[in-house]
Chains A and B, each alone.
Chain A
Amino acid sequence: DVKVTQSSRYLVKRTGEKVFLECVQDMDHENMFWYRQDPGLGLRLIYFSYDVKMKEKGDIPEGYSVSREKKERFSLILESASTNQTSMYLCASSLINEQFFGPGTRLTVL
């Protein structure tokens, strides 16, 4: 079975802090994705990556950056966290179309 893990289930940070969200997949998938999920807005794509060291902006990249130094790991970085970045963050990986999701990180920015 594909396993996608995220470093934290719950995270509380203060405004202005730098935040790292880590995602690891164990199925050698080429594609990895970061989404945020908010009530009434569904899943919104922040960034995705097709290969190591490659990254592409999604629909809402502002305020975020990513890093993919190894195939299995895709990190989401909030350079200076703000209260409007309080959300559920979901990581996913895929080989072709079907995406496999991690359990999510509930981030609260105070």
Chain B
Amino acid sequence: GESVGLHLPTLSVQEGDNSIINCAYSNSASDYFIWYKQESGKGPQFIIDIRSNMDKRQGQRVTVLLNKTVKHLSLQIAATQPGDSAVYFCAEAARGGSQGNLIFGKGTKLSVKP
């Protein structure tokens, strides 16, 4: 299988519970943030994004929270399912940075126990 999950922080949750995955970002000038999900053997997939003029955004079963004061981003997954097992990582884009360039976090591996 894929080795992308090695050496990563791991979050283990029971099926049906809520999951919270955290990310600390580095650049106070960042104004756009994305969460990606990467399943074993696949490329990263977009989950949800948020701009710095917001502190919360909701999607289907997912919520992203942004705390600019402490430069912290979190992804909440409601009623976690086995299909949510993957590596999740955040990415930030800096205002005034190179066009389209994202800075990626290292990722967190989410394991869902049935």
Contact = CB atoms under 8 A, between A and B. Distances in A.
Interface residues of B, number: 29
Interface stretch (B39-47, B57-65, B66-74, B78-86): B39-47
Contacts of A102: 43
Nearest to B5: A39
A100 B6 contact: no
Contacts of B44: 43, 90, 101
Residue from A40, A42, A43, A98 with most neighbouring chain B CB atoms (10 Å): A43
Contacts, number: 66
A99 interface: yes
B45 A101 contact: yes
Interface string B27-46: 00000101010000111111
A45 interface: yes
B21 interface: no
B102 interface: yes
Nearest to B36: A101
Contact of B101 (A30, A39, A48): A48
A109 to B, nearest CB: 16
Contact of B107 (A42, A45, A50, A104): A42
B89 A42 contact: yes
A98 B34 contact: yes
B22 to A, nearest CB: 16
A90 B43 contact: yes
Interface of A: 4, 30-31, 33, 37, 39-43, 45, 48, 50, 56, 88, 90, 92, 94-104
Interface of B: 2-8, 32, 34, 36, 41-46, 49, 89, 91, 93, 98-102, 104-107
The 8 closest A-B pairs by CB, nearest first: A101-B43, A40-B7, A39-B6, A31-B100, A42-B106, A43-B104, A94-B100, A101-B44
